[in-house]
Amino acid sequence: MDYISTRGGSAVSAGAAILKGIAEDGGLYVPSFFPKLELEDLRNMISMDYAERAALIIGQFLTDYSEAELLDYARKAYARFDGEPAPVVGVDDTTYIMELFHGPTLAFKDIALTLLPHLMGAAHRKCGSDKKTLILVATSGDTGKAAIEGFKNVEGTEIVVIYPSEGVSDLQKLQMQTSDGNNVHVLGIRGNFDDAQTAVKRIFNSKEANEKFNKLGYSLSSANSINWGRLVPQIVYYVSAYVDMLGCDEIDEGEAINFVVPTGNFGDILAGYYAKRMGLPVNKLIVASNVNNVLTDFFTDGVYDTNRPFHKTVSPSMDILVSSNLERLLFELYDRDAEKVRELMDSLKEEGEYSVDIDRIYEVLPEFTAYSTDENGTCATIDNFFETNDYLLDTHTAVAVNAYNDYLTETGDNTKTVVLSTASPYKFAHDVYESVSGNDEPDAFKAVKKLHSYTMTDIPAQIKELEYLDPIHTGVVDVKDIEEAIFAFFNKDC
Ligand SMILES: *Cc1c(COP(=O)(O)O)cnc(C)c1O
């Protein structure tokens, strides 16, 4: 299968799309068509384990990889999880939680980022590239550590992670700063995620920067969800959740279900939309945002306007105003009209906003609906959910549960619904502890211990060991100095 750019550039193979990360015209790669899953395929998947399901689904998109090869990569990637990668837990008659945080860094990003290094290594061999790869990552908190865990000590690869120094949780920051690995570089910036993402995109699109890195022997690639290799593994868990529910007779064959997704860069929920386009029976895709609710407004009135204050919240991985992957949805909204997408993206770049006909959204994308939650709502949801269900939500998943409650109040819809749980509550121990107990514990590790005593939930080993690791990567620079600081990592090396 070929991959085409949302802005009209020429088609490339799956391997090339994964190596490049972003198209030369600045657009994002999308599959040239959506392969189909029949109900029979879903039924056949019931007896498969997660890695087998992954190989089957990903194989439909990455046709230059063999299914045996993909199965091998998936087995290696998912062996790094503590148990199942995407278990579905029933909460009440209609609500289910899909836990996506059992990987090495305790966030859903692990599901794609444990696999991506294998996909990229193979793409190198397939495309006959002689360059080393330099992975540039902008992170709102979770992608950084997940990418480091995926790519550290991978031969022929260097990884640079850029994060907002004051925009992540203490434990997220420590996870990144204490990372070992001989090819790992981490850089804090005095700015927010959008600044980090803009800088990374600018470097990707700069001929000069690319030539400079080429001279040093590197070609650039991305581990953000703008990379197709990040997105395609995320389609799998939507299908897998459905198959699990089918296998346990929670749903009938063909019965449509809802998914609620805590959303930032729009990668996760877009994978759900792609699963639907493949034929998965999906009723609603509920976009859940925190007070950075630019997507809620977009799905309500068709206006995407980033000219608004940026809020730091207790769900920092969703503190994003420019949701890059929405570009891929616009491409579908306009029947794959690259000209139209370019026009909208130019407007975003120049004016910080664009608008589309809201009736078109209702007509072409009827599965989407969106809600946002303020900080009090997020904390109250963690508290209520723990009281009612004895289940501890993290701050991001709480935004999703709150959105689902609003959706239920508004519609009374009794469709079975899966809420995607994207992180362990222990990554955000301070705010989760304060939500359930009413007490503020500023020390990150004391908060971890108090959360454990208060809720009697297990502290993940990755959090426990953090306390005894020393920060190695402590550099912080201004936004204008990002590019220079990245070059400095490599000039030092040679
Ligand atoms: C990244 C992240 C999100 C948002 O996912 P997108 O794909 O960016 O929409 C939500 N929750 C957590 C915990 C995350 O790390």
pLDDT of 51-110, one tens digit each? 999 999 999 999 999 999 999 999 999 999 999 999 999 999 999 999 999 999 999 999
Give yes or no for residue 258 CB within 6 A of ligand 1: no
Q: Where are the alpha helices (DSSP H) in 219-325?
A: 228-247, 267-278, 294-301
Question: Which pLDDT score, from 0 to 100, does residue 490 have?
Answer: 87
Percentage with pLDDT > 70 across the chain: 99
Give yes or no for residue 262 CB within 6 A of ligand 1: yes
Question: Which pLDDT score, from 0 to 100, does residue 112 have?
Answer: 97
Q: What is the mean pLDDT of residues 117-146?
A: 91
**What CATH number is attached to the domain comprising 403?**
3.40.50.1100
Confidence of residue 9 (pLDDT cuts 50, 70, 90): confident
Give yes or no for residue 264 CB within 6 A of ligand 1: yes
Question: Which positions are annotated as active-site residues?
Answer: 109
Q: Containing H/E element for 4?
A: strand 2-5
Question: Which pLDDT score, from 0 to 100, does residue 492 have?
Answer: 62
Is the residue at 446 inside a domain? yes
pLDDT digits (tens, 9 = 90+) for 181-201: 999 999 999 999 999 999 998
Distance CA 223, CA 205 (A): 16
pLDDT digits (tens, 9 = 90+) for 382-406: 999 999 999 999 999 999 999 999 9
Is the residue at 406 inside a domain? yes
Confidence of residue 494 (pLDDT cuts 50, 70, 90): very low
Percentage with pLDDT > 90 across the chain: 94
Q: Is 260 helix (H, G, I), strand (E, B) or coil?
A: strand
- Ligand 1 centre to CA of 208 (Å) is 32
Q: Residue 442 is part of which domain span?
A: 88-105+229-462
Is the residue at 208 inside a domain? no
Q: What is the mean pLDDT of residues 119-146?
A: 91
Distance CA 139, CA 109 (A): 11
Q: Is the Cβ–Cβ distance between 170 and 466 less than 8 Å?
A: no
- Ligand 1 centre to CA of 344 (Å) is 24
Residue with the smallest CA separation from ligand 1 atom 1 is 317
Q: Which residue do the tokens 């278990």 mark?
A: 87
Is the residue at 331 inside a domain? yes
Phi, psi for 304 (deg, rounded to 5)? -105, 105
Q: What tokens does 235 get?
A: 């389609």
Residue with the smallest CA separation from ligand 1 atom 8 is 265
Secondary structure tally for the chain: helices H, strands E: 22, 16
Which among 385, 436, 377 is positioned nearest to 403, based on CA atoms?
A: 377
Give yes or no for residue 267 CB within 6 A of ligand 1: yes
Q: Is 43 helix (H, G, I), strand (E, B) or coil?
A: helix
Q: What tokens does 333 get?
A: 């909204």
What is the number of the ligand 1 atom nearest to the C-alpha of 268?
Answer: 7
Residue type, 425: P
> Where are the strands (E) in 61-131, listed by range?
88-90, 95-99
Is the residue at 3 inside a domain? no
Q: What is the mean pLDDT of residues 100-129?
A: 94
Q: Is the Cβ–Cβ distance between 232 and 58 less than 8 Å?
A: yes
Residue with the smallest CA separation from ligand 1 atom 14 is 317
Of 168, 228, 268, the residue with max ligand 1 atoms within 8 A of its CB, to mutate for a pocket test, comes to 268
Give yes or no for residue 284 CB within 6 A of ligand 1: no
Distance CA 398, CA 184 (A): 32
Is the residue at 403 inside a domain? yes
Give yes or no for residue 318 CB within 6 A of ligand 1: yes
Distance CA 161, CA 188 (A): 8
- How many domains is the chain built from? 1
Q: What is the mean pLDDT of residues 110-130?
A: 92
Phi, psi for 423 (deg, rounded to 5)? -155, 160
- Ligand 1 centre to CA of 100 (Å) is 11
Distance CA 371, CA 369 (A): 7
pLDDT(177) > 60: yes
pTM higher than 0.75 for the full model?
yes
The overall average pLDDT reported for the chain is 96
pLDDT(162) > 60: yes
Instruction: List Cα–Cα distances, 221 to 13, 198, 201, 203, in angstroms.
Output: 15, 15, 11, 11
Is the residue at 50 inside a domain? no
Give yes or no for residue 179 CB within 6 A of ligand 1: no
Question: Which pLDDT score, from 0 to 100, does residue 451 have?
Answer: 98
Q: Is 23 helix (H, G, I), strand (E, B) or coil?
A: coil
Is the residue at 18 inside a domain? no
